[in-house]
A and B are shown apart, each in its own frame.
Chain A
Amino acid sequence: MPEPLGADRLLALYRKMLLIRRFEERCNALFLQGRIPSTLHLYIGQEASATGVCAALRQDDFVLGTHRPHGHALAKDVSPRIIMAELMAKATGCCRGKGGSMHVGDVRQGVFPAVAIVGAGCPIAAGVGLSARMRGTDQVAVAFHGEGAANEGDWHEALNMAAIWKLPVIYVCENNLYGASTHFDKVFRVAHVADRAVAYGMPGVTVDGNDVEAVRDAAITAVARARAGEGPTLLETLTYRQCGHSRSDACDYRPDDEETEWKSRDPLTVTGARLLAEPHSLPQSALDEAEASVATEIDDAIAFADASPAPSPDELERYVYWEGD
């Protein structure tokens, strides 16, 4: 078992989750004000998944996100400034305004442009893992994906190849019970996505995806296995999006009591309570300070994006092909 976190490091994870939560809430407001021109898939409610996984990674490890990528990028320390600038379609954005919400990433942090084709990031992550091994490094690759992706052919092909070649990849399946409006039970005959791991000869682990410590512990085990050359893990994080699938989703397909039940297990509430209780026994002011510093960081990101120019017309045909470092 990995070493339990002390108060300082658990507070840091709490702050990271809070950053993602408040960032997403502000994105929603900016979207409603018409200042973010794209669609948005928000990560509200799922923060413990990316935060726990990325807590087990090094700066030089790799992450592939999905159509719901803001949380993945923030958890891997991509700057909120350049994510916000990208969402607001500015030239200073992390993709220079060529990507938008669904493709945020920053290779300097090991975060590739997110892949918004469901499942398609899974083989790419296997290739990143293969490359790490061929280049003689011990870097690992994480492929975040929703449970919906586990019904794509790419997912199955990728898990099989990662397993037969023992590639250093962690397939993190964020099972939030729905793929768009479709419930898990309608499209799976197995109880858990992780049950499918046995078909590929790799460990399949299901954890409470709203418990950042549980996610981190499972990720540490999977990352250690990958770094040691023992191969991939399918890590399923059970979570729930406390918002619509995308911008205009009222979630009428979800029962109220289900939503209430999951909100009572909100990842911030869970970890916040843990920080205040024994053995950490932090004062409420520690959480308040986190709230205040997150607000300042997001204000700064929005101010940066606001002050940035839109891409100039002569940028139109750029970056279709590689232009050099």
Chain B
Amino acid sequence: MAVMGIAEALREGIREEMRRDPTVFCIGEDIGVPGGWGGAFTVTLGLSEEFGPERIIDTPISESGFAGIAVGAAMTGMRPIADVQYGDFLFCMMDQLVNQAAKMTYMAGGAVKVPLVMRAPVGSTRRGAQHAQTLEVFFTHVPGLKVVAPSTAYDAKGLLKAAVRDDNPVLMFEHKLLYGSKGNRAEKGAVSPIGEVPDEDYIVPIGKGAIRRPGKDVTIVGKLLTVYRALGAADQLAEQGIDAEVIDPRTLVPLDKELILESVRKTHRFVVVEEDNRTHGWGAEIAAMVAEEAFWYLDAPPVRVSAPDIPPPFAPGLEELYVPSIDRVVAAVKGLF
């Protein structure tokens, strides 16, 4: 059992999958350049030394192009792990992900599979409007894609391995404040959870959520960074006599609905915390699901704690107001009692 952060756990996961299966390869910008960074957040650092430039493929700055290359390779027996430097650039490859990767199996009447992984860093980190968005909901809306969002080192490695072995396109969202990247790629204000990661092979199954803190009075659902905001809030609420259950779905599509519903049927109160913009957001979908499927168990309306409907602001003081804080989660929960 080794102790490591998420960037390292992902790196080890990729390394093991590439050793296990010769069809697995990495493709992206600045991921394998000798003397470079190993991707924007060090995840692929050192992998080109073991696997060479043929399997750690550095591309031109051509997001749509290399996404399409990953689609074509995946359709013909390879298992690419593609890497976008910042999730915000997924918009540059939207057609390849949404019209091509997601629909190829369907358009072929089930005769083609597209086993690709697209990894994307998200989250507000003092980079302003074009390098700090939360993008998951753009993709959770697309039939044909699977979407995962690990918040611990254990899950990062286990979900990465599950994603590589899945026969569908999987988008993996990673939060910049959770990576634990080191050296000059370290992030200010990082949470960087360190966790135990088994040495032996394991996967975290796609579609299975986790209870991060059991409780009986209220269900709080968060993902990526907001899992930690929810846990922080739960600690404060405990001091005030409210016992919160914190759920991390880990996979956004397909969603482990039953884990959330079972919790709500027990606690009778529900809050979802997201770094996404509020309107038409991910939290709205989860809240609607709870309202539809557990309405008669609720003692209070389902509530969202979200980012406001603005682009991520740059000024640190404003950014702090943008990303849901522990205090906002505490206030939302107390409003239900």
Interface residues of A (CB under 8 A from B): 62, 93-99, 103, 105-107, 112-113, 115, 117, 120, 122-132, 134-135, 141, 153-154, 157-158, 160-161, 164, 318-323
Contacts and interface: CB of A to CB of B under 8 A. Distances in A.
Scoring A94, A134, A158 by chain B CB atoms within 10 A of each residue's CB, the highest score goes to A134
Contacts of A320: 105-106, 143-144
Contacts of A319: 105-106, 108-110
Top 4 nearest A-B pairs (CB, nearest first) are A127-B72, A123-B68, A157-B65, A96-B109
B64 interface: yes
Contacts of B270: none
Given A113-B112, A124-B71, 19 more contacts: A94-B109, A95-B107, A96-B109, A99-B108, A120-B99, A123-B64, A124-B96, A126-B69, A126-B72, A128-B73, A128-B76, A130-B78, A134-B73, A135-B77, A154-B96, A158-B68, A164-B60, A319-B110, A322-B167
Given A95-B107, A113-B107, A134-B25, A123 B112 contact: no
Contact of A107 (B62, B66, B112, B115): B112
B113 A130 contact: no
Nearest to B61: A157
Contacts of B59: 161
Contact of A127 (B75, B95, B110, B113): B75
A95 B75 CA distance: 16
Contact of A154 (B65, B110, B114, B167): B65
Interface residues of B, number: 44
A62 B73 CA distance: 12
B310 interface: no
Nearest to A127: B72
Given A107-B108, A157-B62, A120 B100 contact: yes
B65 A98 contact: no
Contact of A117 (B62, B78, B95, B105): B95
Contacts, number: 147
Contact of B64 (A97, A112, A154, A318): A154
A160 B69 CA distance: 12
Nearest to B72: A127
Scoring A99, A112, A117, A322 by chain B CB atoms within 10 A of each residue's CB, the highest score goes to A322
Contacts of A94: 109
Interface in B119-154: 143-144, 146
B285 to A, nearest CB: 18
A135 B96 contact: no
A135 B72 contact: no
Interface of B: 23, 25, 54-55, 59-60, 62, 64-78, 80, 95-96, 99-100, 104-115, 143-144, 146, 167-168
Scoring A112, A130, A321 by chain B CB atoms within 10 A of each residue's CB, the highest score goes to A321
30 contacts: A95-B107, A96-B109, A99-B108, A112-B104, A112-B112, A120-B68, A120-B96, A123-B65, A123-B69, A123-B96, A124-B69, A124-B71, A124-B100, A127-B75, A128-B76, A131-B75, A131-B78, A134-B23, A135-B77, A154-B95, A157-B64, A157-B65, A158-B65, A158-B68, A164-B60, A319-B108, A319-B110, A321-B144, A321-B168, A322-B105
B72 A125 contact: yes
A115 to B, nearest CB: 7
B71 A127 contact: yes
Nearest to A110: B76
B168 A322 contact: yes
Given A107-B111, A321-B168, A127 B106 contact: no
B112 A161 contact: no
Contacts of B110: 96, 318-319, 322-323
Nearest to B104: A113
Contacts of B107: 95, 98-99, 103, 113
Contacts of A103: 107-108
Nearest to A159: B65
B75 A321 contact: no
Contact of B95 (A62, A120, A128): A120
Given A113-B104, A120-B96, A161-B60, A322 B65 contact: no
